[in-house]
């Protein structure tokens, strides 16, 4: 693992290297020698309750009573709220929101506009299934005379758990693997430089869907990714992020 360094420092070094290769003979722009502490960017680096069988039947009870109790206790009891789905369930959700990166390393592009599409399905008689999807986010800002643009694209997939709905409200939870590609471009009067990396990680998320109709739900989702750091110009940059999103599922 290499030493840690900000995106701004890495892009500045990349620009200086480009000038040298191009044969520039003028003095380096002073701002390119500045350690940009204000503009740091990190990349997306990552049982039904069974009723226990009752006590042994007393010999003095009538035969019909123990048979009735035994029959009732032989199968698990389950409330309507905890029961698994009686038929297969599947939804595709379109989400928009904000991807939040660490503000000490991503300023001025730590808050990015986020869009995602994800599909989830659960077999009949189960409360767990699978999910997968893709997301993208975009951020821009300026600092110390440089303009910064950042893009992150993520593919993810994992396990989905959905307990029985509470009326029109249906909670959900998920966890799985994440593969993210990030790119940052810095530009100014002297030119531009781009750095990028692909990182592997894990995600956790949870939220709730609210039934609007038989075929449409309103979805609220909170997602956290952690894992591998990104590496730019030999320096490590934290790649964890938090997502707050809302959308519709069909």
Per-residue pLDDT tens for 3-55? 666 666 666 555 545 544 544 444 433 333 333 333 343 333 334 444 343 44
Q: Cα separation of 217 and 92, whole Å?
A: 10
Global pTM? 0.69
Is pLDDT at 170 greater than 80 in this prediction? yes
More confident residue, 232 or 80: 232
Q: Cα separation of 61 and 38, whole Å?
A: 82
Q: Where are any strands of DSSP class E within 10-127?
A: 89-101, 111-122
Contact 233, 249 (CB under 8 A): no
Which of 6-10, 70-74, 139-143, 174-178 bottoms out in mean pLDDT, i.e. has the lowest? 70-74
Q: Cα separation of 227 and 44, whole Å?
A: 9
- What is the Cα 60 distance to its own chain's centre? 62
């Amino acid at each position: 693992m290499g030493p840690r360094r900000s995106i701004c420092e890495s892009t500045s070094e990349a620009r200086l290297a480009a000038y040298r290769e191009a044969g520039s003979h003028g003095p380096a722009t002073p701002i390119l020698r500045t350690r940009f502490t204000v503009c740091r960017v990190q990349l997306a680096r990552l049982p039904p309750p069974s009723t226990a069988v009752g006590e042994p039947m007393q010999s003095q009870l009538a035969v019909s009573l123990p048979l009735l109790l035994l029959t009732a206790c032989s199968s698990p009891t389950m409330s309507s709220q905890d029961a698994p789905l009686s038929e297969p369930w599947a939804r595709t959700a379109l989400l928009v929101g904000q991807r939040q990166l660490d503000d000490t390393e991503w300023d001025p592009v730590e808050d990015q506009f986020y869009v995602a599409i994800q599909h989830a399905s659960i077999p009949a008689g189960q409360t767990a299934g699978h999910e997968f999807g893709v997301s993208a986010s975009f951020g821009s800002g300026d600092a110390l005379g440089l303009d910064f643009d950042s893009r992150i694209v993520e593919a993810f997939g994992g396990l989905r758990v959905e307990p029985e709905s509470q009326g029109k409200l249906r909670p959900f939870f998920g966890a799985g693997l994440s593969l993210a590609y990030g790119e940052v471009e810095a530009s100014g009067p002297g030119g531009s430089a781009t750095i990028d990396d692909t990182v592997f990680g894990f995600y956790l998320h949870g939220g709730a869907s609210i039934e609007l109709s038989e075929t449409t739900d309103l979805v609220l989702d909170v997602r956290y990714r952690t894992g591998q750091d990104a590496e730019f110009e030999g320096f490590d940059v934290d790649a964890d992020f938090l997502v707050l999103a809302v959308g519709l599922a069909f």
